[in-house]
Structure 1
Amino acid sequence: MHTLFLTSMFAPMAARFHDFARGDCTGKKACLIPTASSRQKVRHYVNADRSALKSLGIRVADLEVSTASPQEIRRCIGQSDYVVITGGNTFYLLQELRRSEADKAIVDHIDAGKTYIGASAGSVILAPDIGYISHMDSTDAAPELAGDYTGLGVLDFYLVPHVGNFPFKAAAKAIQDEYSSSHDLQGISNHEAIEIRDGAERIIGA
């Protein structure tokens, strides 16, 4: 069974993750993958999410999959209690996860029942396909995908982050308007999360 905590931004939901983890966070290891933001000018949300994890007593190790060796990727993910993927461009994230084969290690982590935390792109990437997020993220950032936007396929629905929140309010609405009739969309704001454990799923607020 999968254990997933999916957000638009982790920091506002950190207290709820503490509840989700049943208070057992102190001393746990997290492998944090900030790759989606590595070519973004604005990255403050990654620092906020990292700080929020540390505030729970979690030991955080960053893993930049665009430059890490296969051994470093397997080690960081394999030795961690949590895999955390933060926000940025989902298409660039997918490109680098595929190229480095970190995607396989992440799915193995999830399939083993270990906890996965997603924020924005890190939540979207688990969908069957990420093409729907092009209203929010530019596909130009990932030319190597060559139009193949198959996601990690852990979810059977399509998460829409930042619903109702600046500066993505219009983009989130455009996604909902275009895809609501063809995709099982589940939208969350910056102060909501989707918890999945033991086959049960629910949306919670901060």
Structure 2
Amino acid sequence: MHLLLLSNSTAPGRGYLDHAREEIADFLGGARRLAFVPYAGADHDGYTAQVARALDPLGVEVTGVHTASRPAEVVAAADAVFVGGGNSFRLLAALHRHGLVDAVRARVTAGAGYMGSSAGTNMACPTLRTTNDMPIVQPPTFAALGLVPFQINPHYLDPAPDSSHMGETRAQRIAEFHQENDVPVLGLREGTWLRASDGRLVLGGIEAGAVLFERGSEAEEFRPGAELTRLLTTAAAFDSPAADR
């Protein structure tokens, strides 16, 4: 599979997708038709127009799947699929409602590139259980696309020792996840991404990198350029990508 999984779509002081423009251009390569999935947001037309403006310099034709009576047909005709960020629960509910879980998985398995940012990156995991979002809607299942066999926590934030916030840190939330599940969670800090191609998985982006959490082990830090291919052979602790417990 060919995957580009961004932690975020906008970096401070930069335009939409600007911080990863070179990586996106390389990833899309000769792709000309891109199916954009805007369902994580509320304004589907506006969101699609934003993506089209950002990718226009790359010569990519962007079509919002919401413009078709059968969104899966837009996906089937695309060279690449981009699932944008927003609310993960709303996004997953829409993917199931429009029959896009199987459609996207089939198209990507057949060779199309998959690009996700934030919530779209969550969708590449077995489930959305490591999202940061509020459950504003209830999807029929937590099962997502299962394009990778491990979990990702986008926008990962390190504990701030001088913070007066009394709630759980992101690391503590992930520790709670591991009390119930035995599957690695990769915390992607802002400005980082994962690139999967030809059976390899490589971390890219800013120097801050990412942190890997595994049940029963100390957290492990990785910097851009790190090879994380072993995560692609991780046995997820779920019955299948379609299972929900």
Cα distance between partner residues in 2 of 1:187 and 1:199? 21
Corresponding residue for 1:137? Answer: 133
- Structure 2 CA distance for partners of 1:39 and 1:57, relative to 1, 3 Å: closer
Corresponding residue for 1:117? Answer: 115
Partner letter of residue 5 of structure 2? L
Taking structure 2 as the reference length, what is the TM-score of the superposition? 0.67
Report the CA distance between 1:48 and its aligned residue: 5.2
Corresponding residue for 2:150? Answer: 157
Q: 1:36·1:86 contact (CA, 8 Å) conserved in 2?
A: yes
**RMSD between superposed Cα atoms in Å:** 2.8
Q: 1:45·1:87 contact (CA, 8 Å) conserved in 2?
A: no
Q: 2:154·2:189 contact (CA, 8 Å) conserved in 1?
A: yes
Unaligned runs of 5+ in 1: none
Corresponding residue for 1:57? Answer: 59
1:34-183 to 2 correspondence within 5 Å? 34-38=38-42, 49-64=51-66, 68-70=68-70, 73-133=71-131, 136-139=132-135, 141-145=136-140, 148-164=141-157, 172-179=170-177, 182-183=182-183
Q: 2:5·2:193 contact (CA, 8 Å) conserved in 1?
A: yes
* Aligned partner of 1:24 among 5, 30, 33: 30
Q: 1:179·1:185 contact (CA, 8 Å) conserved in 2?
A: no
Q: 2:72·2:98 contact (CA, 8 Å) conserved in 1?
A: no
- Structure 2 CA distance for partners of 1:158 and 1:46, relative to 1, 3 Å: farther
Specify which structure has the bigger relative contact order, considering alpha-carbon pairs within 8 angstroms and separated by 6 or more residues: 1
Give the secondary structure class of the aligned counterpart of 2:120. Answer: helix
Taking structure 1 as the reference length, what is the TM-score of the superposition? 0.78
Cα distance between partner residues in 1 of 2:43 and 2:54? 22
Report the CA distance between 1:126 and its aligned residue: 1.7
Report the CA distance between 1:50 and its aligned residue: 4.0
- Which structure would you say has the larger Rg? 2
User: What count of residue pairs does the alignment treat as equivalent?
Assistant: 187
Partner letter of residue 176 of structure 2? E
